[in-house]
Chains A and B, each alone.
Chain A
Amino acid sequence: TQLLEQSPQFLSIQEGENLTVYCNSSSVFSSLQWYRQEPGEGPVLLVTVVTGGEVKKLKRLTFQFGDARKDSSLHITAAQPGDTGLYLCAVRTTSGTYKYIFGTGTRLKVLA
């Protein structure tokens, strides 16, 4: 069974600080997605990374796919209260299917 471990589980930081969230597995994936979920809403797709070593930027968010395609990181620069939420990584269960499994989640709170 594939398992996506995210760390840290919880993170509370002050506005303006930087942070990195990790998503790790022992399996190799063809692609990996990151989502953010705010209270009372469904997860929203932030990015999909496909190539080993790939780096994608979305404003203050930087996403990287590990060279071996087993892990990924999400770095937020100068965090803002609007970044508060549950961050989830997700991968397809097996190649050729459309089903996804989600990571254990990182709950981020940014204090003003």
Chain B
Amino acid sequence: SAVISQKPSRDICQRGTSLTIQCQVDSQVTMMFWYRQQPGQSLTLIATANQGSEATYESGFVIDKFPISRPNLTFSTLTVSNMSPEDSSIYLCSALFVESYEQYFGPGTRLTVT
């Protein structure tokens, strides 16, 4: 199993600014992902955070808007750039153990853009 923490837990930001969300896993994992979730709705995969190389983005998400870093096997960051009110959402990171396909999630970062 894994315990995942995210910082900040929530933030209110102004339009046009950027916010970096941190995700820390308590053990080394091969796969880390970033998701977006509107409150009460399902999850949408943003990208796969690859250790030591550029993230792999899903359709509709681009690196300029959501730059991702993964410097090691336990940590990743997601930046939401040049924010607009449409970026208001919950952002979740996850870690997946490839041996068991078990995926663990952080508690999420609730972002509000005004």
Complex Cα spacing A43 to B106, Å? 8
Contact of B108 among A42, A101, A102 (CB under 8 A): A42
- Asked whether A42 lies within 8 Å of B94 as measured between CB atoms, the reply is yes
- Nearest CB of A to B60, in Å: 12
Interface residues on B, range: 20 to 34
Most buried by B among A44, A45, A90: A45
The number of chain A residues with a CB under 8 A from chain B is 22
Q: Is A104 an interface residue (CB 8 A)?
A: yes
Contacts A40-B108, A41-B107, A98-B31 given: A48-B43 contact, CB under 8 Å? no
Q: Contact between A100 and B40 (Cβ–Cβ < 8 Å)?
A: no
Q: In the docked arrangement, what's the CA distance between A49 and B103, Å?
A: 14
Interface contact A100-B103, CB-CB below 8 Å: yes
- CB nearest neighbor in A for B43: A102
Instruction: Judge whether A48 and B101 touch: CB under 8 Å.
Output: yes
A31 at the interface (CB under 8 A from B): yes
Is A104 touching B107 in the complex (CB atoms < 8 A)? no
Residues on B with C-beta less than 8 A from A88 are 42-43
Binding site for B on A (CB under 8 A): 31, 33, 40-45, 48, 86, 88, 90, 92, 98-105, 107
